[in-house]
């Protein structure tokens, strides 16, 4: 039986379609054919409709998402701009309030932003993905002051080996403070007027012959923290059996006005031409020379010779077993020392000190002097000022001494011998000795006695006591 097409079927049964109720055969045939056609058509139409709906939905959602994000981007950008303009501290503190736990620094997202960014609806936007600062509405950029951004910069030079050399010549700019730590280096430091630069020059050599246990090294480290320069130069790590020779020189040209702090072990030091508000030195062993320096000076030296020449400013010294010479000092001098020979000349300022086992020589001093000395001799020449001196087991000797108002000179086991240039008629004396003689030369007359001598004349008073020794005043 051949199958009819729907067109042929309709033509063959045209009369049946003209009645109100179709014949059963026609209705059945039509329904059967139509069901097949409609079923096939529904399937095709359904797929097309679903495709259109899907495309439309995705398009609408994408448009809404992109529009919302664009609005958020504009808001975030404006807020960031305002933060930069109003920020006067290291970190912006006006972080937007949120109930969600979120990170406020790059590379971290809060949960809301993460879901928004990585949801299926955001896949279409992958190619135009915004920066985290724009996506995350809760992100506040951190704004740092330019000075805080300058992290310490460290420069290291190391040479290791039995026989090695290290040569460095480098420059640092914008320096106002220098801190130096050295070991077994000779240091030469010179100020440069009108400069803010520090030139660091190193010439170092290790010469080793023999058996080495630890590998020797030469190490120089420079650390820059803003305008502060820290320098470390040392020889280290050498031990063994043989001949070990090290020779290192650190030469520094520093700004004239830079403050200096120096820790110096085992080496010589030469500092000159500085004008600053502080120079601080701590040295273990070596010779120290400080010339033409205008600054408050703090000097601590354990062993060596110390020379200060043409210094201006307060001078504070803590000296061990050293020979100290200070000439042309303008400013007060304070010192304490053990086992030291101290010579001060050309001093314009008050002198105050404590000495245990040594001697003190004073020449051309204008200022008041106060000493507390044990087992030390004190010698003065051409001094103008008041005197207050106590010594245990030592002599007090002075020539060409001009008092302003008073002198108090006491020794337990020693003598007092002072030549005053004051008018004798304007002076009063209170002199005592337990085991010794008192001699007072009054013009051409001389008085000699034992025990006590009291003379009341003028307002300049001299008080002296020697338990076991002589007192001689002229």
Q: What tokens appear for 146 in the block?
A: 């330019």
Q: Which residues contact 192 (CB under 8 A, 6 or more apart)?
A: 253, 254, 255, 256, 273
DSSP one-letter string for 135-171? H-TT-------HHHH---EEEEEEEESSEEEEEEEEE
Helix H or strand E segment including 382: strand 369-384
DSSP one-letter string for 266-312? SS-EEEEEEE-S-EEEEEEES-EEEEEEES-EEEEEEEEEEEEEEEE
Q: What tokens appear for 391 in the block?
A: 């010594």
Max Cα distance, the chain (Å): 178
Band (pLDDT 50/70/90 cuts) for residue 166 is: very high
The mean of the pLDDT values for the chain is 76
Domain extent listing, the chain: 1-149, 156-267
Closest CA to 160 of 205, 214, 215: 215
Closest CA to 77 of 141, 126, 146: 141
Band (pLDDT 50/70/90 cuts) for residue 239 is: low
Which of the two residues, 168 and 51, has the higher pLDDT score?
168
Range 428-455 average pLDDT: 81
Range 100-119 average pLDDT: 38
Strand pairing of 239-255 and 198-214?
antiparallel
Closest CA to 156 of 250, 221, 223, 217: 221
Whether this model's pTM surpasses 0.85: no
**Which ranges of 87-150 does DSSP label H, i.e. alpha helix?**
111-118, 132-135, 146-149
**Could you read off the pLDDT of 264-323 as tens digits, one per residue?**
998 999 999 999 989 999 999 999 999 999 999 999 999 999 999 999 999 999 999 999
Closest CA to 428 of 400, 396, 464, 399: 464
Range 45-58 average pLDDT: 51
Rg (CA), the chain: 48
pLDDT of residue 441: 80
Sole residue written with tokens 């470390």 = 232
Q: How far apart are the first and last CA of the chain?
A: 165
Give SS3 for 398. Answer: strand
Q: By percentage, how much of the chain surpasses pLDDT 90? A: 47
- Contact between 311 and 329 under an 8 Å Cβ cutoff? The reply is yes
**Could you read off the pLDDT of 383-437 as tens digits, one per residue?**
999 999 999 889 999 999 999 999 999 998 899 999 999 988 889 999 999 888 8
Please state the separation of Cα 71 from the chain's center in Å: 47
Q: What tokens appear for 183 in the block?
A: 């070991």
CA atoms within 13 A on the CB side of 160: 4
- Contact between 128 and 65 under an 8 Å Cβ cutoff? The reply is no
Q: What tokens appear for 43 in the block?
A: 């399937």
φ, ψ for residue 277, nearest 5 deg: -95, 0
Range 124-151 average pLDDT: 38
């Amino acid at each position: 039986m051949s199958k009819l097409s729907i067109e042929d079927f309709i033509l063959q049964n045209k009369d049946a379609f003209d009645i109100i109720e179709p014949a059963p055969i026609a209705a059945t045939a039509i329904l059967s054919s139509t069901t097949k056609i409609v079923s096939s058509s529904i399937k095709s139409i359904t797929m097309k409709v679903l495709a259109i709906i899907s495309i439309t939905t995705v398009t609408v959602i994408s448009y809404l998402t992109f529009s919302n994000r664009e609005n958020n981007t504009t808001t975030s950008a404006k807020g960031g701009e305002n933060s930069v303009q109003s920020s006067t501290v290291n970190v912006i503190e006006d972080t937007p309030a949120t109930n969600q736990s979120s990170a406020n620094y790059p590379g971290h997202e809060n949960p809301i932003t993460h879901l928004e960014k990585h949801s299926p609806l955001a896949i279409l936007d992958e190619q135009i993905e915004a920066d985290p600062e724009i996506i995350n509405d809760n992100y506040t950029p951190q704004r740092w002051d330019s000075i805080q951004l300058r992290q310490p910069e460290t420069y290291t030079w190391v040479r290791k080996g039995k026989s090695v050399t290290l040569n460095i010549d480098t420059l640092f700019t914008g320096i106002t403070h220098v801190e130096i730590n050295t070991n077994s280096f000779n240091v030469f430091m010179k100020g440069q007027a009108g400069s803010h630069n520090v030139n660091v020059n190193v010439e170092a050599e290790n010469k080793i012959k023999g058996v080495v246990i630890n590998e020797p090294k030469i190490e120089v480290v420079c650390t820059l923290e803003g305008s502060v320069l820290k320098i470390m130069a040392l020889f280290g790590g050498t031990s063994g059996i043989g001949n070990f020779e090290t020779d290192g020189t650190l030469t520094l040209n520093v700004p004239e006005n830079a403050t200096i702090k120096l820790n110096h072990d085992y080496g010589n030091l030469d500092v000159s031409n500085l004008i600053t508000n502080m120079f601080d030195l701590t040295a273990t062993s070596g010779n120290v020379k400080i010339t033409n320096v205008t600054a408050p000076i703090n000097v601590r030296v354990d062993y060596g010779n110390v020379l200060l020449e043409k210094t201006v400013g307060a001078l504070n010294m803590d000296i061990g077993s050293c020979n100290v010479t200070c000439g042309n000092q303008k400013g007060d001098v304070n010192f304490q020392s053990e086992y030291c020979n101290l010579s001060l000349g050309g001093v314009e300022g008050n002198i105050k000190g404590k000495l245990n086992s040594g001697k003190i020589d004073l020449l051309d001093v204008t200022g008041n002097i106060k000493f507390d000395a044990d087992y030390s001799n004190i010698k003065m020449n051409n001094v103008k000022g008041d005197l207050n001196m106590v010594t245990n087991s030592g002599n007090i000797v002075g020539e060409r001494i001009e008092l302003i108002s008073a002198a108090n000179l006491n020794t337990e086991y020693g003598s007092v011998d002072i030549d005053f240039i004051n008018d004798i008629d304007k002076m009063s004396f209170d002199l005592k000795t337990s085991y010794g003689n008192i001699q007072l030369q009054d013009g051409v007359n001389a008085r000699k006695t034992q025990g006590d001598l009291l003379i009341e004349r003028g307002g300049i008073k001299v008080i002296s006591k020697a338990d076991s020794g002589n007192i001689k005043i002229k």
